[in-house]
């Protein structure tokens, strides 16, 4: 009798796990099935490297959006990585444990704020500031980079914190016993020992940034052209899909799926790098 229920539970769990896996697989298959024939028809060159995006005229060049996504993501990294790493180092090495126990969950809570709220703050506060002090339309690469940089902070910080936490105390003691100051021990040994985990955190953060949609639509301005300066407004790959999917049909719709493939590949590459970084042991040069 008992054996029976156990087999049933086991089979049911297997079914659930399989269906989760299957739905992911189906999504991937679906995107590729819609997007790949399009790419073949238009030609990868005309799709990836042309700057003309005029679906009504049969022009499907997403180059400006690729560049925009890259700019915005790198910008987010420039904002989020130093802050996140510095925060993680500071919390781990220079703040009493008790404070850390309060602050770390608080930062992780930031990850739970809906992205539309970040976008809202970007539109209401950041964009006007940029417009007033730096010029341009305000809704821009810069605004998107700053907002995304803050959004990826929890990711970068919590992974970097875990990596730094995992550095054995014996390294710190060894460094201090050789006459190092606290700060020397941290930046010459601890951070290097935690390097792979820190890099993984940054890259996973970049993956989040490149995939973020709602906040970016709200603050980036959505103009389809390659940015000439950080103050220009841009449209990212994600924004392009989200903005046009509602009314697209035929080739246009397929073009958006193909855009999804490009995004998919970007994120796959970033995540693989992050995974490889986490797997490499620290040490040597």
Partner 1 sequence: MEHPATHAIPRLQVRNLNLHYGHFHALINVGMDVEDRRITALIGPSGCGKSTLLRSLNRMNDLIPGVRITGEVRIDGVDIYAPGTDVCALRARTGMVFQRPNPFPLSVYDNVVFGLRVAGVRGKETLDAAVERSLRAAWLWDNLKDNLYGSALALPLDQQQRLCVARLMAIEPEVILMDEPCSALDPIATAKIEELMLELKKQYTIIIVTHNMQQAARMSDHAGCMLLGEMIEFDGTQRMFTNPRDERTQDYISGRYG
List residues near partner 1 by CB under 8 A: 168, 170-171, 173-181, 184, 188-189, 192-193, 281-285
The least CB distance from residue 280 to partner 1, in Å, is 11
The least CB distance from residue 205 to partner 1, in Å, is 23
- Residue 45 or 179: the one with the smaller Cβ distance to partner 1 is 179
The least CB distance from residue 82 to partner 1, in Å, is 23
The least CB distance from residue 276 to partner 1, in Å, is 17
Can you tell me the distance from the alpha carbon of 261 to that of 60, in angstroms, rounded to the nearest whole number? 14
Nearest to 81 by CA among 129, 23, 17, 150: 150
- Residue 175 or 216: the one with the smaller Cβ distance to partner 1 is 175
Q: What are the φ/ψ torsions at residue 265 (nearest 5 degrees)?
A: -65, -40
- Residue 2 or 285: the one with the smaller Cβ distance to partner 1 is 285
- Residue 102 or 132: the one with the smaller Cβ distance to partner 1 is 102
The least CB distance from residue 204 to partner 1, in Å, is 22
Can you tell me the distance from the alpha carbon of 273 to that of 204, in angstroms, rounded to the nearest whole number? 9
- Residue 70 or 180: the one with the smaller Cβ distance to partner 1 is 180
- Residue 100 or 243: the one with the smaller Cβ distance to partner 1 is 100
- Residue 41 or 182: the one with the smaller Cβ distance to partner 1 is 182
The least CB distance from residue 183 to partner 1, in Å, is 10
The least CB distance from residue 199 to partner 1, in Å, is 14
């Amino acid at each position: 009798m008992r054996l029976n229920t156990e087999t049933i539970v086991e089979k049911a769990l297997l079914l659930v796990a399989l269906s989760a896996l299957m739905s992911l697989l189906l999504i991937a298959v679906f995107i590729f099935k819609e997007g790949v024939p399009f790419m073949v028809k238009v030609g990868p060159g005309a799709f990836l490297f042309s700057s003309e995006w005029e679906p009504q005229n049969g022009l499907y060049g997403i180059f400006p959006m690729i560049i925009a996504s890259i700019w915005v993501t790198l910008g987010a990294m420039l904002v989020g990585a130093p802050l996140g790493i510095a925060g993680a180092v500071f919390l781990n090495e220079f703040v009493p444990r008790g404070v850390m126990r309060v602050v770390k969950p608080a930062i992780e809570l930031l990850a739970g704020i809906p992205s539309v709220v970040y976008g809202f703050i970007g539109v209401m506060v950041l964009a006007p500031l940029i417009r007033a002090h730096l010029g341009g339309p305000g809704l821009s690469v810069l605004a998107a980079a700053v907002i995304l940089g803050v959004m990826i902070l929890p990711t970068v910080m919590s992974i970097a914190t875990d990596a730094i936490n995992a550095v054995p105390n014996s390294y710190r003691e060894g460094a201090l016993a050789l006459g190092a100051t606290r700060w020397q021990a941290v930046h010459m040994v601890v951070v290097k020992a935690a390097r792979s985990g820190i890099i993984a955190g940054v890259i996973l953060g970049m993956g989040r940034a490149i995939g973020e949609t709602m906040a970016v639509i709200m603050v980036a301005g959505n103009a389809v052209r390659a940015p000439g300066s950080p103050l220009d407004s841009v449209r990212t790959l994600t924004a392009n899909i989200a903005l046009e999917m509602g009314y697209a049909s035929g080739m246009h719709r397929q073009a958006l799926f193909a855009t999804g493939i490009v995004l998919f590949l970007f994120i796959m590459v970033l995540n693989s790098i992050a995974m490889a970084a986490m797997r490499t042991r620290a040490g040597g040069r």
